[in-house]
Amino acid sequence: MRAIGYFSERALQGEETAPASLSEQNDRFLRYCEDQGYEPAAAFLDPAGASDRPGFQQLLHFLDEPEKGFVTVVVSSLHHLGPTRLAAARSYFQLTTKAAQVVSLDEGALDDAHVLQLWSESSNEGGLGEKVRDAMRRRAVQGRVLGRPPYGYAVGSDRRLEVVEHEAEVVRHIFGLSLDGLGIRRIAKQLNAEGYRTRRSGRWSMVTIRDLLRNRVYLGTYSRFGVKVPGNHPALVREADFRAVQEATERRRTNASAQEPAKPSQFLLSGLVYCSDTNSKMIGVTRRQRWTRRDGEVAHKTYRYYQSEARTNQSVGDYHTRRAADLEADVLRHLTGEAPGAVSHSVLNAGDAIAVEAEIKAVQARVQSRTRAIERRLQTHLDRAAAGGLPPDEVRRVATNLVQEYQQAQDEFAALQRRRDAQTSERERRDYHDQQLQRIRTDWASLPFEQRQALLRDVVERVVVDGDDVRTVLRA
C-alpha cells in the first residue's frame, strides 16, 4: 500500500507551540511507513510562509489522477490540515471525498465521527489544542471507543466494542471471499449482487472493502492516537486468516506491477472528462487480458478506456465508457476543426485592457464572496452535526457537497489568476488561445506526452460524454 505525506509548518490559531519542522515531520512519516509496511510514494510540503497552501493544492490534484491507485494520506495531526479548525475539517473532507484514507500520526486513522468529536471538544477553545488530544489519548489507552465504531461492531455500555452479529457475518464473508482468491473489485460486485448493504444501506465499494480487509480491529486490537490495545474486544477473524489475506493482497499488487514493468499507464485527458448524467469524472482504466492459445502460445492484450468514476468504484450508474484512443481522437478533431464538437465557454466579455482587468477583479470578488458563504455554511453544518442534530450519512453528504462547491470556487479563482497573468487584454487573450490551438494543429505529432497534456489543460475546460455524443468545452 502506498502512502503520501502532507506536512505543514503553519501553526494552528490558538496553539502555544510551533509545529515540528518539515524535515522532522518527514522523518516521522518515513518511520511510520516502515513500521506499517507502507510504500512512501510522495510528500507535499507547505512551509510557514505559504499562505495559499500550494502543497495542499498539489496533493488534491495528485489525488485526482487515476494512476495514483489507492493511497493513504499521512499527516502529523489533524490540525496540520489547516490554520483553523474550520480549515482543518474542510481539508479532511476534501481529501476523503477523493477516496483517500487519512491517517494522523498523533490521532490514528481519521473518520467523520472522530473529526466531529474533535470539532465539538475544541469549540470552546477555538482550536484543536493539546489538552483535547491528551484527553483523547487517555481514553484510547483504556480501550474506550472514540468516534464511530467500525462495521461489525457497536459501542457497548463500557465504551468498548461489542459484536453486531449480522454485520460480523458479512465481515467473515468478505474475508472468506478474499481467502478464496477474489480481489476487492470482485468482492464488492459479489456483495452487491447478493443484496448485502453497508451500515448506511449503501452499496459496497472497492475502497470500503480494501479498508475493511486491512483493519486490525477485526483481530480484537483497538488502535487510536498511535496507541494499540490488543485483546480489547472480541475478534471476528483469526490471526492466520488475517495474515493470509494481507499476503495475498501484496502478491496481487506485486504481480500486477510485474506484468507491466514500464511506467504506469497515462491518460491524455485525465481530470478533464465528465459523465453528462451525474457530472462525475470519468477516469482512465487499463485492463489487461492474458490467455493461452491452442498452440500453447501465451497471448496478451491491453484495453484502455475512460469510465464513470461511480461505475468504477461501486459498479453502479450508467455504463458510460469510451475507448481511450477513440475519445482522445474525437477531442483532437474538435480542436483542429476537423469535426464539430468544440464549444466556447466564456467567463470574460470582450473589452480593452482596463475593462478586462476590472471584470477579472469583479469575478474574483464574487468568487471570494461565494467561498466565504460556503465556509459559513460548512461551519454551521459541523456545529449541528457535532451537537447530534444530523445522522452520519447526512453529515457526509452535506459536507461532501460543500467542499466540492468550495474546491470549484477555488479552482475558478486560481484559473482567473492564471488568466490574469497571461492575458491582460482582449487581443492578448485571443492571441494566447489561438497560439495554443495552433500548436495543437501543427506540432502535435512531434510533442511528448507531457507537453500534449499541458496543451490540452490550457485550452480545454472539460470534455463531456453524453452517450455517443462528445462535447469539448474550451476555456475562456
Same domain, yes or no: 135 and 6: yes
Render 122-154 in DSSP notation, one character per residue. TTTTTS--HHHHHHHHHHHHTT---SSPPTTEE
Please indicate, yes or no, if residue 19 is contained in any of the structural domains.
yes
Same domain, yes or no: 83 and 199: no
pLDDT at 400: 83
User: Measured between alpha carbons, how far is 423 from 431 in angstroms, rounded to an integer?
Assistant: 9
Enter the C-alpha cell of residue 226.
Answer: 498511535
pLDDT at 349: 46
- Could you give the 3-state DSSP secondary structure of residue 21? coil
- Tell whether the torsion through CA atoms of 263, 265, 268 and 273 is positive or negative: negative
Same domain, yes or no: 102 and 162: no
Same domain, yes or no: 133 and 180: no
User: Measured between alpha carbons, how far is 283 from 206 in angstroms, rounded to an integer?
Assistant: 15
Please indicate, yes or no, if residue 293 is contained in any of the structural domains.
no
User: Measured between alpha carbons, how far is 208 from 302 in angstroms, rounded to an integer?
Assistant: 27
Q: How many other β-carbons are positioned within 10 Å of the β-carbon of residue 423? A: 20
Whether pTM > 0.75 for this model: the answer is no
Please indicate, yes or no, if residue 84 is contained in any of the structural domains.
yes
Same domain, yes or no: 119 and 160: no
Question: Residue 70 is part of a domain; what is its CATH number?
Answer: 3.40.50.1390
Enter the C-alpha cell of residue 166.
Answer: 449480522
Which among 94, 112, 141 is the end of a domain? 141
Helix (H) or strand (E) segment spanning residue 318: none
Distance of CA 402 to the CA centre of its chain: 15
**How many distinct structural domains can be found in the chain?**
3
State which residues form the domain around 191.
153-259
Same domain, yes or no: 123 and 213: no
Please indicate, yes or no, if residue 326 is contained in any of the structural domains.
no
pLDDT at 243: 92
Please indicate, yes or no, if residue 281 is contained in any of the structural domains.
no
- Paired residues of 367 in beta bridges: none
pLDDT at 282: 86
Same domain, yes or no: 137 and 178: no
Please indicate, yes or no, if residue 302 is contained in any of the structural domains.
no
The C-alpha cell 480542436 sits at: 335
Distance of CA 357 to the CA centre of its chain: 35
- H-type alpha helices, 274-391: 309-314, 324-336, 353-386
Angle at 55 between CA 53 and CA 58, to 5 degrees: 115
For the chain, the maximum distance between any two Cα atoms, rounded to a whole number of angstroms, is 75
Render 341-370 in DSSP notation, one character per residue. -EEE--SS----HHHHHHHHHHHHHHHHHH
Same domain, yes or no: 136 and 161: no
Question: Residue 242 is part of a domain; what is its CATH number?
Answer: 3.90.1750.20
R_g of the chain, CA atoms, integer Å:
24
Burial class from Cβ neighbours inside 10 Å (0-12, 13-18, 19+) for residue 447 reads middle
Burial class from Cβ neighbours inside 10 Å (0-12, 13-18, 19+) for residue 359 reads middle
Q: How many other β-carbons are positioned within 10 Å of the β-carbon of residue 227? A: 17
User: Measured between alpha carbons, how far is 43 from 216 in angstroms, rounded to an integer?
Assistant: 26
Same domain, yes or no: 86 and 186: no
User: Measured between alpha carbons, how far is 50 from 10 in angstroms, rounded to an integer?
Assistant: 8
Which among 259, 282, 312 is the end of a domain? 259
List, run by run, the mean pLDDT of 10-residue segments along the chain (476 residues): 82 52 84 84 79 82 75 84 83 83 83 78 51 55 67 86 94 95 91 91 86 90 72 91 89 59 65 82 83 81 82 52 90 89 58 59 78 86 79 81 82 72 61 84 88 86 87 84
Same domain, yes or no: 130 and 171: no
Residue type, 455: L
- Could you give the 3-state DSSP secondary structure of residue 165? helix
Same domain, yes or no: 38 and 159: no
Same domain, yes or no: 9 and 135: yes
Which among 243, 259, 275 is the end of a domain? 259
Please indicate, yes or no, if residue 278 is contained in any of the structural domains.
no
Task: Name 465's Cβ contacts closer than 8 Å, sequence gap at least 6.
Answer: 273, 274, 275, 276, 282, 306, 320, 322, 327
Please indicate, yes or no, if residue 56 is contained in any of the structural domains.
yes
Distance of CA 46 to the CA centre of its chain: 19
